[in-house]
Structure 1
Amino acid sequence: QFLHAYSADEARRLLREVDDIAVALLDVVMESDQAGLDLVHFIREELGNHFVRIVLRTGQPGQAPEHEVIAEYDINDYKDKTELTAQKLRTTVYATLRAYRDIMFIERNKQGLERVIEASAHIFSYQQSHEFASAVLNQLGNLVGLERGALYCKVQNPGEQTPEHFVVAAATGDYSRYVDNHADEKLPRRIVSSLKQAYEHKQNLFQDDHYVLHFTDSRQTESLLYVGETWRLSDLDYRLVELFCTNVSIAFENLHLNQELMESQLEMVHLLAGAAETRSKETANHVRRVGLIAEQLARLSGMDEQQCTLIRFAAPLHDIGKIGIPDAVLNKPGPHTAEETTVMRTHAELGAQLLADSRRPVLRLAATIAREHHENWNG
């Protein structure tokens, strides 16, 4: 498409309205002797358009010497009208169009990578599996556009070529109800068949109304992306999806490692608290119940999920100070003497002292709970 402007003012209006002009052939002299040079400044500085290729033409090269114009203005070529034959004009246009094509290809790659980074950063912020699952494909939809819905499946126990090892880690649209399910148990047979075919052949599968992309990351972790619509991704979009899915695999592994670490910490807390409770003839399940009840009370009081989780981890250690109470006092069958009562009451402060030096949020909270769990409601 050719666009024409017969003055610098017309060119300004046109450039404001059309933001994807590839090549601009500008006269230096229009309304004034340097109207073309002012227009170059307008394009580059005011519009911020550094993509359009600008070719300056002049019939009076003495007024705008080439070496000065090229050095001072962001232009891409400079032509004297007397030398600009039809063939040279054609050559110039072809060369500048190709330069514009290459620049826009780089720009699309840059924008695509920025979208991948933004989408990846978003999913890395989630700490719960269900939140992570719902975020993955929402971000993928923002990345390349998904209308009818999609499934993202992790392959568990690689090497076993059976569909029960496909776990739906994320889903959107009509498939959202399948999250966290095994493929062979819930997914329609046609979807399972396509997933299995792509997995067994280790390659992408394209059908009339859906496609499956197969990915393997640097750790040989395999994943599958099922999209319930016809293939319409460009090569660039495909590479962006591939990069995004690699990041998703890493984030998914990190999420499970973090959850495993949290569960290990909770188990250690229960073992430690259970050891203290065993001395006073309590059962190990007592400390678990205390943690769960404390978490529920925290949630009902309006605390956020992170605070509730910390309380569930910390509350079982409320009686850890009993470790420092003599058995004769701790397990005395009858009532305590005044002196024994005083000793027994020290378990709160003893527990706080045991935990006070830790820098871990859970143990710091546990120290507070140990010290204050026998306080009256009103202090």
Structure 2
Amino acid sequence: MTNTHYDNDELTFLDEDGSRSDHVAPGKFWNVLVVDDDEELHTVTRLALSQVVINNRQLRFLHAYSASQARAILSQHGSQIALILLDVVLESEDAGLTVVKYLRETLQLEEPRIVLRTGQPGYAPEQTIITDYDINDYKTKTELTRSRLLTTVITSIRSYQHIVTINQSRLGLQKIIDASANLLEEHSIKAFCEGVVIQLSSLLGLEAEGLVCAKAGSLIDKDANTVYVLGAAGDFANLINQPVTRLNNAAIAENIQRCLRQKTHIFDDGFSVLYLNRAGFEAAVYVNLAHELSDTNKQLLEVFLSSIAIGYENVHLFQQLRNAAFRDWLTLLPNRNEFINLLEKPAAGDPLTKVVALIDISRFSDINDGLGQDAGNALLVSVATRLSSFFEAPVIKARISSDVFGLIGPAEKITPEQINSLFQSSFQALDHTIPLNVHIGFYEIAQQGDSGLDILKRTNIALNRAKKHHHDNFEYYAPEIEERTTWQLNMIRRLRNDFADRKLQLWFQPQIDLTSEQVVGVESLLRWPDEEGGFIPPTVFIPLAEYSGLIVDIGQWVVEESCRRIQSLNQGGYPGLRVAVNISMPQFRDRYFVQKIKQALTRFECPPAQLELEITESVVMDEPQIVIDALTSLKQFGVAIAIDDFGTGFSSMSYLQRLPLDRLKVDRSFVNDIQPGKSAVIAETIVSLGIKLGLCTIAEGVERPDQAEYMKQLGCMEAQGYLYAKPMPFDELTAYLESHTG
């Protein structure tokens, strides 16, 4: 606001030549509303006051000739009117008082001052009306000579200035209180800094116009070393979050930067730049000054700045805390939490269809392990920089996890072609030039409503599918993908519960000596009962068990249950029968796998040779050395080893020779090739290979006598299949053995 010292030269007049005896602020006026139904009174008032300058401002007149016209002007300009000269009697005896009531009660404006004028003394308002409606003065028109009118006007405007200053001070304090109470809100910095400007202006009796500037640092998402406008009031309000170089006034920008460089206040003609510092958090506060500050005001500013600096430190610290929660510390991009928030908050002007993308850097852990974490961090910064420079606003960029970046933007911008083009050239990380491959998951947001977490989950589902592709590196989310995933998770949950409740069953299929046609062993086969009296196929639940990691516990249970059945068979009069158990790759990865097998054999007092472990070629080829080492140890302990489904994979003969095998199982697909009058070349080759390696061979899936005879003629020693027996529970197995033992 303007200067609030009124002791000297409050009232001046224009000289006859038009010059002013005191400086008049250009574009600044005191607005005075004259309300009277007498045209002559309007003219007289205007002439009497037209040359008056009060505190560097002239008077500007607004005219109304009825109560209705006055209300219309007040509804539009009421907050800018300093004084109302109001006739009590207009259209009716109390029309003027209805204007007063409208101003105070309807518009809720307490700042404009009111002077009632009347040509009929008998219509004077009651004392309660003067008090209740905050009326400054009441005069008859004959009393208001020019000198008395001037006195009334100057005292009324002085009163108006005091009220405005008090209210402005209250507003500034409230801004700071609100900012302090809502430090975690999005605009806490802006609100706090705007409050600082308003409060300073109130203290100095200035217009609420100024700037608070500082280096961006952690306060806003800008270049940390550039000075930005953090908060502003008045004509500067539209510059918030803009660099000070955007100011139209180069002198203001230079003085703000000089204040921060010199770390001191700058008091100059027409302006001041105040230095704010607390715990290393610096800011410069620019305010317009119409006059030089007194020593008293400067001391007052020092006290105020010392107090307000604590609030600035708190704002800064809370902003850092917010950044820690919602900003990635390395790339300074939004993190996963903020990405989810942004998915839930559509920005103004968002396209009808937006696309979310998750970009996963392939084998990033290898880069970290091989080149070091510093190189890995530098690479992530390089990726973030390229994403930010390529995808400009409105595309949102974020770092979701260690090596996963996220994008949100219009469908025409967020495409596989656009993203893949970014990764065609290598990235620089310290002294290393590193090419990168990525997988990308996409999700189209056709309409708002879904939670950010659900959108992120669906995009991640698409990303996981993309990682399984061999031809493309991307996948768009489709509802059936989530349905499949949901089904998979439900099945895993059911499997886990049923396994814990011991609902899984172990069935057995006999294995026959082709020469003697006697039972020489059985294969353990896992069965999972469904809720309708049937069984869920192993081709369905075994992959689920492997995916969930439950296969290790289930596999160990199968081993222990098989050992228990071996013990039962030996004690029940069927000694020497071997029991074959399938072993998966996750079991081999268990560091205690070999130890657990030995413990199960010992616990049930089983001869190791009666337990046969079956592995597939794919298991061997997954991690050959782990498998070879484990099987060699178990073979030395006496356990038998068989390779299942032989010939269906891509075997390496070198690994085959290194495996401590006892038996080759000819896959059922090759046995099915046996037709009358035709040769089954692959089956012949496998049996021949087994004989040359000194291994027993067993044919799977034998269903017809001619298949059994053919395999026997090739030199195959054993068989299993529906020709002899289907898989059966253990109780049925003992009955079968009793009827088939000669």
TM-score, scaled relative to structure 1: 0.47
- Asked which structure has the greater RCO (Cα within 8 Å, sep 6+), the reply is 1
- Going by fraction, where is strand more abundant, 1 or 2? 2
TM-score, scaled relative to structure 2: 0.27
- Going by fraction, where is helix more abundant, 1 or 2? 1
